[in-house]
Amino acid sequence: MNPASLIPTADTLTAHWGWFQFLLMLTFPLHLFAMNAMLGTALSAFICHVLPERPYRELSHELSKALPFMVAFTINLGVAPLLFVNVLYGHLLYTSTVLMGLFWLAVVPLLIIAYYLAYIYDFSYIKLGSLAVYVVLAVLLLLMSVGFIFSNNMTMMISPASWLRWFATPDGTLLNLADPALLPRYLHIMTGSLAVGGLCVALYSSTVLKLDSSLVKAGTRLGMQLFTWLTALQVLVGTWFLLTLPGEVMKRFMGNNMFSTGLLVTGILLAVATIITGYKRKVMATLLLTIPLIYVMSFIRDSVRTGYLVPYFDMTKVPANMQWSPLVFFLMTLVLGLVVIVWMLSKLPVFRKS
């Protein structure tokens, strides 16, 4: 059977596809920043429990206060990019979601449990005693499990040939484990997220916790070490990921598509630069290099998706019936929402320390 025959017809768009693509590439990196901070905070807190020095134990307590906020921001900032992926690729994403429906339905309860444990870790930190390390580890593993489910869905979405397995397993329990690019793709995202999360911990320690020199030193050292070594590991995993891509997709980054090739070269150069500044523990310089790096990686991810879908789907051919009011309303809501978020952050006691 031809896999293309299984693909539903794409819905008519309410605006030119370029608008939704722009908004996807605008909002997805924001979700990544929050996710990185969340995972890095959880990992750093776990490591702090293992290290014997007193400043690290105190740092884990401070990080426990930030973790619930990081989970909340990650979830909320993930709504917009998921919405735009649904608008642009809904006929593909809905299909892959149904194929792995049992695992996809598990995402919500897993997030609820992780969020609840994050609050327990914060509010009951002292009462938990030696159990605190296991609570924050559970939070980290649950959140990484959700990421694995998302990686399965997003890779199965762009591989209609894998949908043929439904005829043998029609019970909603399919995962994309046979895809050789799944594991390196997932590890590439996780190592990058944990690395940038370490940078966020260093930034948090050197700004919010700046009144306590022992915490600043401990947090900056731990955060920058995590960032440097995990970023170096991410480069290696990224090479593995590139080599597991289908030939035509990989060639996009080897000169067949100059934009994609330029993105890859830029990403490598930025990654090397961040490793150097991270090794020297220059927090702000590393941050200024990491911000564009995350955007570049987001565009590389989008190019990979486009390459996979070349035989099956051309976004430029999707019909559009222009309706300005929903688009304008969304843009207004987005701006107002960002303003409210900034205002709420300014009112948090943890961010008002001076």
Dihedral of the alpha carbons of 70, 241, 153, 327, in degrees to the nearest 10? 60
Number of domains in the chain: 1
Domain that holds residue 244: 15-317
What span, in angstroms and rounded, lies between the C-alpha atoms of 18 and 340?
A: 27
DSSP one-letter code for 246: -
Dihedral of the alpha carbons of 122, 123, 128, 134, in degrees to the nearest 10? -30
**Structural domain contains residue 39:** yes
**Structural domain contains residue 145:** yes
Please give the structure tokens belonging to residue 5.
Answer: 């025959």
3-class SS of residue 13: strand
**Structural domain contains residue 251:** yes
- The single residue listed with the structure tokens 């952050």 is 345
What span, in angstroms and rounded, lies between the C-alpha atoms of 44 and 257?
A: 39
What span, in angstroms and rounded, lies between the C-alpha atoms of 48 and 264?
A: 35
pLDDT in tens, the chain (354 residues): 677 778 888 888 888 899 899 999 999 999 999 999 999 999 999 999 998 788 888 889 989 999 998 999 999 889 989 999 999 999 999 999 999 999 999 999 999 999 999 999 999 999 998 899 999 999 999 999 999 999 999 999 999 988 988 888 888 899 999 899 999 999 999 999 999 999 999 998 888 877 678 888 888 999 999 999 999 999 999 999 999 999 999 999 998 999 999 999 999 999 999 999 999 999 999 999 999 999 999 999 999 999 999 989 988 888 888 888 887 888 888 889 888 878 877 776 555 554
Identify the pLDDT of residue 354. 44
**Structural domain contains residue 323:** no
Question: What is the H or E stretch that residue 172 is in?
Answer: none
**Longest CA span, the chain:** 66
**Structural domain contains residue 329:** no
Q: What are phi and psi of 312, to 5 degrees?
A: -120, -30
Please give the structure tokens belonging to residue 243.
Answer: 């080599």
Q: Please classify residue 2 by burial: count the beta carbons closer than 10 Å to its beta carbon, then call 0-12 exposed, 13-18 middle and 19+ buried.
A: exposed
Read off the CATH number of the domain in which 231 is found.
1.20.1630.10
**Structural domain contains residue 253:** yes
- The single residue listed with the structure tokens 């444990």 is 117
User: What is the DSSP code string of 100-135?
Assistant: THHHHHTHHHHHHHHHHHHHHHHHTHHHHGGGHHHH
* Rg, the chain, Cα only: 21
Q: State in Å, rounded, how far the first CA of the chain is from the last one.
A: 65
Identify the pLDDT of residue 227. 95
**Structural domain contains residue 331:** no
Decide if 27 contacts 81 (C-beta within 8 A). yes
What span, in angstroms and rounded, lies between the C-alpha atoms of 158 and 93?
A: 8
- The single residue listed with the structure tokens 């002292």 is 126
Please give the structure tokens belonging to residue 210.
Answer: 């700046």
Question: What is the H or E stretch that residue 263 is in?
Answer: helix 258-279
Please give the structure tokens belonging to residue 104.
Answer: 């996809």
DSSP one-letter code for 320: B
**Structural domain contains residue 345:** no
Q: Tell me the pTM.
A: 0.90
